[in-house]
Amino acid sequence: MSPQILTALPVYNEESHVAEVLAEVRKYADNVLVVNDGSSDGTASVLRSIPGILVETHEQNQGYGAALKTAFCYAIRHGYDVVVTIDCDGQHEPSLIPELAGAVFPENGEPYDIVSGSRYLKEFDGDSRPPEERRRINMEVTRFLNERLGLNLTDAFCGFKAYRTLPLENLRITELGYAMPLQLWVQAVDLGFRIMEFPVPLVYLDEDRSFGGSLDDSSRRLRYYREVMDRELADVAAAHAAEAAEPRTTLCD
């Protein structure tokens, strides 16, 4: 039996992009979930006009990490085998969804728990040049992760990923903002997830796209990322010490 695949898009104030992106995504994905993270523009109205999609709505904006957590829990509760995450800014190539999802369960060998898109693993014709400060921060954070976790990643922050759903239940996601993927990487290594990278094109359509508030300052953003990683490494160590006395919660508790 073929694995059941859910393709999930976290969305916040994407009125100008969401219809076009979903039209392309639906060419390659049968089950599409949009997590509307408290959008204050016309995103909700656009979503209501599109038939055949699943929508989960946060009444208040909670953050990128919160939207991904909602997508993971939806996939777990509804019995999907794989959840593919793809951003709604037009910077990912939806035609790769089937191949990315298919890599989770190779024909020979054990399944992978995370198949992570990498924009720096391979050069594609037509690749964009990323904003220099974003590439610099990504490279620095990726290097730090590799050093601390024994990984060999080339792209810590690509939002285009495929996850095997079952092991996601063991995550404890508390970081609800943009640094949530860093918390996830720390926990994935601690839990022994099998990880591979998958080459995807490098596309930047809006170099001035905002992170919001103080995170638009690159030095503050980098400090925030490092604080989240340091805190998560400490929390994982503390959790191991406490597990004998306190049972581990699961992602959607």
Residues 6 or more apart whose CB falls under 8 angstroms from that of 232 comprise 175, 182, 183, 186, 187
Residue 132 has pLDDT above 90, yes or no: no
What DSSP element (H or E) covers 190?
helix 180-190
Sketch out the chain's domains with CATH numbers: 5-242 (3.90.550.10)
What DSSP element (H or E) covers 34?
strand 32-37
CB atoms under 10 Å from CB of 234, counted, come to 11
Strands 114-118 and 161-164: antiparallel
**71, β-bridge pairs:** none
Position 54 scores a pLDDT of 98
Reading phi first (left if > 0) and then psi (alpha if -120 to 50, else beta), residue 126 is in: left
Handedness of CA 189, 193, 199, 200 (dihedral sign): negative
37: nearest Cα among 74, 77, 70: 70
Q: pLDDT class for 97, splitting at 50, 70, 90?
A: very high
Residue 186 has pLDDT above 90, yes or no: yes
Q: What is the pLDDT of residues 221-239, one digit of tens each?
A: 889 899 999 999 999 988 8
* Cβ-contact 248, 239 below 8 angstroms: yes
Q: What's the average model confidence in pLDDT over 174-181?
A: 94
Handedness of CA 115, 120, 125, 131 (dihedral sign): positive
- CA 29, chain centre distance (Å): 17
Q: pLDDT class for 204, splitting at 50, 70, 90?
A: low
